[in-house]
Each structure stands twice: as structure tokens, then as C-alpha cells.
Amino acid sequence: MSLRSPLSKALGLGSAKHGFSHWWWQRVTAIALIPLTVWFVYSLVCLSSGGYQDAVIWLSSPVSATLMLLFVLTALYHGQTGLQVVIEDYVHTKWVNLALLLLIKFAAVVMAVLTVISVLKIALGG
């Protein structure tokens, strides 16, 4: 005997009503991170023999700046979503759960804003 309603089975939603969404976005961001990570590692290898100015010139390219933003923002979202699932599953004290969820979301947003500002400042020659 199942405790889930037929509608929740059809929609693929658990008791919290967002389980499938987390699962889906974890997979989507993981797949997106594969080519972005390959690009990032290749870029680091190519830049390893250069200096600071070479890195600034490289990041000033619209393609490099766009891919860098996609890489970092996707990685932050992927990490935040993964940590959220771990906290929801294993932290059972309500106030600790809420505090940790707020902390990781706040940290992800702060890092995302800093990334966007930093990359745009370099890309736009600021």
C-alpha cells in the first residue's frame, strides 16, 4: 500500500513537492558542466605559460568571458542545489536546517554577484 496519491505519482513529486525539480536540475547542470569544465581546464593549461596580462587579454574576449560566467554560475547553482538536498535529507533540527539553507543560498548569491562583477570589469576593460 502506497501513501502517495495517484496525482503525486503522475507528477513525480515527493512530499516536499520539489524533489523531482532538484533531481532534474542537478542532472541538467551536471551535463552542462562537462563541456564547460573541459573548456576551463583546457584554457588553464593554455594560459599556464603566460602571465597576468595574458589572462586579462584572454578574459577580455567576449567568448571567454561568456563561457567563464556560464561555468562559474552553473557550478555555483549545481553546488548550492546539491548542498540543499544534503541538508534537507540529513539535518533534522529545523532551525539548523533553515540556517544552513539560508547560508548556502546567501553564499552562492554573493559569489555569483562577485563573479559577474569581476568578469565584466575585466571584459569591459574597467
d(CA 44, CA 122): 17
The 10s digit of each residue's pLDDT in 54-96 is 999 999 999 999 999 999 999 999 999 999 999 999 999 999 9
Q: Which residues contact 23 (CB under 8 A, 6 or more apart)?
A: none
d(CA 83, CA 85): 5
Computed on alpha carbons and rounded to an integer, the radius of gyration of the chain in Å comes to 19
Topology of domain 21-123, per CATH? 3 helical TM bundles of succinate and fumarate reductases (1.20.1300)
Q: Give the lowest-confidence range in 9-18, 55-64, 88-97, 116-125.
A: 9-18
The 10s digit of each residue's pLDDT in 25-42 is 899 999 999 999 999 999
Using the predicted structure, report yes or no on whether residue 15 has a pLDDT greater than 60. Answer: no
Domain limits, the chain:
21-123
- 54-60 contacts: CB < 8 A, separation 24 or more? 56/122, 59/119, 59/122, 59/123, 60/122, 60/123, 60/125
